Amino acid sequence: MSRTMNNITIVCYDITSDKLRRRIDKCMKDFGIRIQFSVFLCRSEADVIKRCRAKLLRILKQFSHESVPGDSIIVFSRLSPNSVECLLGTKIEHDAPPFLVV
């Protein structure tokens, strides 16, 4: 039996700095569950995702000196299935494929 979860956001990151990576990890534990070391699955409403995004942006601003080219934080949201948001790193130019969690 499979079931579809409609309110899903996947946040994945690749951060070089241990200090910045630990802060992002701590933040993401408040909003979702870890499915891989730097990938979190969040099942939540749009307002919660906005709070998560805002908190991540505050961390990035606070530790801006820690990030290096090549670091990235990417947000795939089921709430807007054709969008991929890069909070840090190179913008993804193509549409994200819709995803289904079963």
Q: Which CATH number fits domain 8-88: 1.20.1560.10, 3.30.70.240, 3.40.120.10, 3.90.45.10?
A: 3.30.70.240
pLDDT at 48: 84
Domain boundaries, the chain: 8-88
The candidate with the shortest Cα–Cα distance to 40, out of 91, 75, 83, 81, is 75
Neighbours of 92 (CB within 10 A): 14
Residue-level pLDDT, tens digit, the chain, 102 residues:
344 556 788 899 999 999 999 999 999 999 999 999 999 998 767 788 889 889 999 998 998 888 888 888 888 876 665 666 777 775 555 554 454 444
Spatial distance between the Cα atoms of 52 and 40, rounded to a whole number of angstroms:
12
Query: How far apart are alpha carbons 33 and 40 in whole angstroms?
Result: 5
Beta bridge partners of 34: 40
What letter would DSSP give residue 95?
P
